[in-house]
Amino acid sequence: MASFKYESQVRAPLVDGSKDYHQVTEDIVRPIEAPPSRAWWIGFVISVALLLFGVYSIYREVTYGVGQWNLHKTIGWGWDITNFVWWVGIGHAGTLISAILLLFRQGWRTGVNRAAEAMTIFAVMCAGQFPIWHMGRVWMAFFVLPYPNTRGPLWVNFNSPLLWDVFAISTYFTVSLLFWYSGLIPDFATIRDRAKLKWRKLTYGLLAFGWTGSTKHWQRHESLSLVLAGLSTPLVLSVHTVVSFDFATSVVPGWHTTIFPPYFVAGAIFSGFAMVQTLLLVTRKVLALEDYITMEHIEVMNKVIVLTGSIVGIAYLTELFIAWYGQNPYEGYAFMKNRLDLFSPYGWSYWLMMACNVISPQIFWFRKLRRNIVVTFFMSVIVNIGMWFERFVIIVTSIYRDYIPSSWAVYYRPTIWEVGFYLGTFGLFFTCYFLFSKFFPVIAIAEIKHILKKSGESYKKEMGHVEKESADSLFHEVHAAHH
């Protein structure tokens, strides 16, 4: 009976329309072979303009020093580290969708994993810049790397979580890049074989590494995917755990919190899935890929968003409870006065964070709203605004008024060059994403074909009558066919 293994009709198809293998290839490769559309050019030019503004902002900071930012002795971390943690969080969904869902054999990941993996690479590229430029003397960046040197006892501080960040994020970036690229190889070969222009055939031929689609190639590809997924799974959990140690291992009230590791991981998945939703809703519309990024994909990701948003909400309430229960006056002041008091200087940011991250995702308990494109797009933007404010609240409200009133800071607001640097990373992210969507397949062709036979709409219709038959009649039909 194993030959009749298929997905239940109860599950909605993951590929809409009566698609065959050739149609799948045509639909996904079409945007690559066609000239760029006007919408693509507009988006690309805006992204490059933002990127150039970011480059100029960094030039100002390197030339004239960190004084170009509004950082000072009390608030030594501001927008730069807020944005660093935010971008690392954005990069979490890609590897989660790729690695953990691959190990659990979740078929719905195939429509969204390629774009999510690309998003991970670009987000980590954006994140890694903030600590480097934050140094001021950026040419000292190589001092964070623990390589053998002739400087006597001068080594990096292995007790510092900032060094752990270097290890965690560089490892995460490397494994994510390998995972993304290895998945692209069969699709590069497909584009190579269809190419009519010589330069295109040569370029994609080099990228495909001589892929022929033989059984041996597929066997090795499957093995590599599982090994990389096994390596990536602990990385998904460890990277943002290590980022949370930047704060949790300190003694600053509001940072010294043991709940940070799981809370940061849940928040990273929360914001990462929201960014995937933002990108994929635009991509599916612009590239006409509605049959492959279906309402089923959107609904499942909204379920993950409401789950992780609820976990983050529990973490917020746990922090408040412990601040009250612990009876530490400094911890209590950090939470009850600096954050919870709406009329304190930064109280508004705490309540904005609560509204965006805890209250608003609860609308996804309703199926009709989970499957509404406009609501989903709006909510995906709201969630990422809320998650940015979460990082801002943790960093700034904890240090601008800490132990001694004499060291309290005046109201912190970023300069135009801090904002410009942040906008520049958006420019880098979207420039890379636009180039990716133009020259690489946004959806994994080979993986869509793999699930087509059990999750495609046409196949489900053909198998509908089988589901209605009894097991005995089905057995007799198969037995008669074999004889």
With respect to residue 387, please indicate whether it lies within any of the assigned structural domains.
no
CB of 339 closer than 8 Å to CB of 346: yes
| CB within 8 Å of 184: residues ≥ 6 apart | 114, 207, 440, 441
Number of domains in the chain: 1
Separation CA 4–CA 256 (nearest Å): 56
Per the CB < 8 A criterion, the answer to whether 450 and 14 are in contact is no
- At residue 236 the predicted structure's pLDDT band, cuts being 50, 70 and 90, is confident
Q: Could you tell me if residue 468 is inside a domain?
A: no
pLDDT at residue 250 in the model: 87
Q: Tens of pLDDT along 382-395?
A: 999 999 999 999 98
Query: How confident is residue 455, by pLDDT bands cut at 50, 70 and 90?
Result: low
For 254-288, write each residue's pLDDT tens digit.
Answer: 888 888 899 888 898 899 889 989 988 888 888 87
What is the reported pLDDT for 1? Answer: 43
Residue 3 has pLDDT above 60, yes or no: no
Short-list 91, 194, 22, CA closest to 425 = 91
Q: pLDDT-derived band of residue 10, with 50, 70 and 90 as boundaries?
A: low
Q: Is 376 part of a structural domain of the chain?
A: no
Average pLDDT over residues 17-44: 82
Give the domain extent around 206. Answer: 14-147+155-304+413-453
Q: Residue 382: what pLDDT?
A: 93
In a domain, 197, yes or no: yes
Phi-psi map region of 408: left, alpha, beta (phi>0 left; psi -120 to 50 alpha): beta
Whether 191 maps to a domain, the answer reads: yes
C-beta neighbour count of 57 within 10 angstroms: 23
315 within domain boundaries: no
Does residue 458 surpass a pLDDT of 70? no
190 domain-assigned? yes
Please give the structure tokens belonging to residue 47: 């992204």
Q: How many residues does the chain have?
A: 483
The answer to whether the CB of 290 falls within 8 A of the CB of 16 is yes
Residue 364 falls inside a structural domain:
no
In this prediction, residue 313 has a pLDDT band, given cuts at 50, 70 and 90, of very high
Q: How confident is the model at residue 452 (pLDDT cuts 50, 70, 90)?
A: confident
3-state secondary structure at position 118:
helix
Q: Which of 301, 304, 284, 282 is nearest to 293 (CA)?
A: 284
pLDDT of 60-105, one tens digit each?
Answer: 988 888 888 888 777 878 888 899 999 998 888 788 888 887 887 7
pLDDT band at 365 (very low <50, low <70, confident <90, very high): very high
Q: How confident is the model at residue 422 (pLDDT cuts 50, 70, 90)?
A: very high
Backbone angles phi, psi at 15, to 5 degrees: -130, 115
| pLDDT higher than threshold 50 for residue 4 | no
